[in-house]
Amino acid sequence: MTPDSMSPTDVTDRLAVLGAAELSRDQEAAAGLAEAAHRILADLVGRGAALGWVEPPSPEEVAELLDHVLGAVRAGDGALRAAYLGGRLVGLGYWLRYARPTHRPHADLEKVAVDGGLQGRGVGRALTAALVEDARAACVEVLTLDARGDNTGALALYRSLGFAEYGRLRDFVAVGQRRYDKVFYQLDFRREG
């Protein structure tokens, strides 16, 4: 059975979502993380995904990004999650605390990326839900994110997990001649207590 032929339940039942601490203990997963992450990110961006790059990132850019995120995780200023199916990286995501001292109680969900063949099968939901729980455990008060307005699947996922839209910049994102809205979402943990 290939990942494409699996039902969403099959995929999520066999999915392992690892945090940075678990990744550091699994030498094989840690060693191949940058290369596998590059494969996913470059493929998605090459197909027009809204991940912040216009052109697919280089392997060096992805390795540098992961080093930055892992440094933030070690400092208690971020979380990284990686989703594996059958030992293969199929998705990753992370959040980082805001750098300004006045914004330190808050964090931004920077990226959630899922292998194109598994989108819509629960991998993004599993990653995002784990990152939300990591933020809650780290006493983040408000978790924010922004997404391109045409990324309707991701926007629906975020709403289903409790995020609420708090702003929109019309035609703000420029990809060649095309323009897209930039949509801002937040999950306010302060309302839970």
Q: What is the pLDDT of residue 54?
A: 87
Backbone angles phi, psi at 134, to 5 degrees: -60, -40
Q: Please give the tally of structural domains in the chain.
A: 1
DSSP states of 78-110: EEEEEEEETTEEEEEEEEEE-SSGGGTT-EEEE
Backbone angles phi, psi at 102, to 5 degrees: -75, -15
Name the token pair of 57.
């990132």
Per cent of the chain over pLDDT 90 is 77
| Domain at 28, CATH number | 3.40.630.30
* 10 or 170, which is more confident: 170
Q: What is the pLDDT of residue 10?
A: 62
Contacts of 137 (CB under 8 A, 6+ apart): none
Name the token pair of 44.
């998605």
Q: What is the pLDDT of residue 28?
A: 73
pTM of the entire predicted model: 0.90
Distance separating alpha carbons of residues 189 and 138, to the nearest angstrom: 11
Range 168-171 contact pairs with CB under 8 angstroms and sequence separation of 24 or more? none
Q: What is the pLDDT of residue 193?
A: 62
Alpha helices in the chain (DSSP H): 8-14, 20-25, 27-46, 59-74, 123-137, 152-160
| Strands 78-85 and 107-114, sheet pairing | unpaired
- Confidence check: pLDDT of 133 > 50: yes
Contacts of 100 (CB under 8 A, 6+ apart): none
Q: What is the pLDDT of residue 66?
A: 95
Under DSSP, the state recorded for 52 is S
- Confidence check: pLDDT of 1 > 50: no
Provide the domain limits for residue 44.
3-192
Q: What angle do CA 192, 162, 97 make, to 5 degrees?
A: 75
